[in-house]
Amino acid sequence: MKKLVLLVLLIFSLNKFYAQELNMEFTTIPLDGMKYSPSHILAIWITNDAGIYQKTLMVYADMRIGYLTNWNSQTGGDKVDAITGPTLHSHQTRNVSWDLKNIFGNVVPDGNYNINIEMTSDDFSGPYRMITFTKGADNFTLTPSDNDFLKDITINYNSGVAAAKSTDIESDYLTIYPNPASSALAQMKVKLLKDSPSSIQILDLAGKTINSENKTLKKGQNKINLSNLVSELKAGTYMIQVETNHYKIAKPLILRK
């Protein structure tokens, strides 16, 4: 009974293996009448509902970085782990993502957050925009309206929770046997409705990939020997994650030596 409870807890902890992520795509618009246009400097950062700084996502600026006044005042000029680069000289569609972690590397709690965007093409502050979204259990897509320096904005949020629910993890799409198993005997069956290139990953309980293998799986039941992937692992509990064109699913494997 204790083993069953452990396995159930491990299965329901799978949420953390599906990346929580916020992605934003946008196109910048030239700032008419500014000295250096179309060249521009740009910053994007996250604050919470109380205006407390969480993370810088993107900074493109060099000598005139001081004119990103909102970004400097709210972040103290922090650029750790952000996408950075020199002054931009053309306007185009760009992408930026946030892993929902703050500057301390911790996943932020559910709640309201602000995407802050600032841009200038002169030796003074330029336009600034704030877009608010809610981090929670539900995935969503936002398409905020255009303004005078941003257009075609699309924001996609993946909570991670919904991804885990997309496939019934108690189904026969992924079967690991025997379980517990020795590294020499560990096998699994993967069910597919269509042929698909697939990724098989061995994860530790912190979600770190330890080993992986890519192969094309066929329609129907695919029997796979896991010994090559787990032969050098110590005894313990791991996650086997399979990602195909049709689903992403993971289950625990308990290794015994």
In this structure, are residues 203 and 241 in contact, taking their beta carbons and an 8 Å threshold? yes
pLDDT for 9:
41
pLDDT for 161:
55
Closest CA to 119 of 142, 144, 156, 94: 94
pLDDT for 164:
42
Question: What number of residues does the chain have?
Answer: 257
pLDDT for 249:
83
- In b/e form, how buried is each residue of 221-236, taking b as 16+ CB within 10 angstroms? ebebebeebbeebeee
pLDDT for 64:
95
Q: Would you write out the chain's pLDDT as a tens digit for each of its 257 residues?
A: 444 334 434 444 444 444 689 999 999 999 999 999 999 999 999 999 999 999 999 999 999 999 999 999 999 999 999 999 999 999 999 999 999 999 998 889 999 999 999 999 999 999 999 999 999 878 899 999 999 999 999 999 988 754 444 444 445 688 999 988 888 889 999 988 888 899 999 988 777 899 999 999 999 999 999 999 998 898 888 889 898 887 788 888 888 86
pLDDT for 218:
92
Q: What is the C-alpha to C-alpha distance for residues 252 and 190, in angstroms, rounded to an integer?
A: 14
In this structure, are residues 222 and 204 in contact, taking their beta carbons and an 8 Å threshold? no
- In b/e form, how buried is each residue of 69-80, taking b as 16+ CB within 10 angstroms? ebbbebbeebbe
Taking CA atoms, 136 is separated from 98, 139, 153, in Å, by 15, 8, 21
Name the token pair of 126: 């330029």
Rama region for 111: left / alpha / beta (φ>0; ψ in -120 to 50; rest): left
The answer to pTM > 0.75 is no
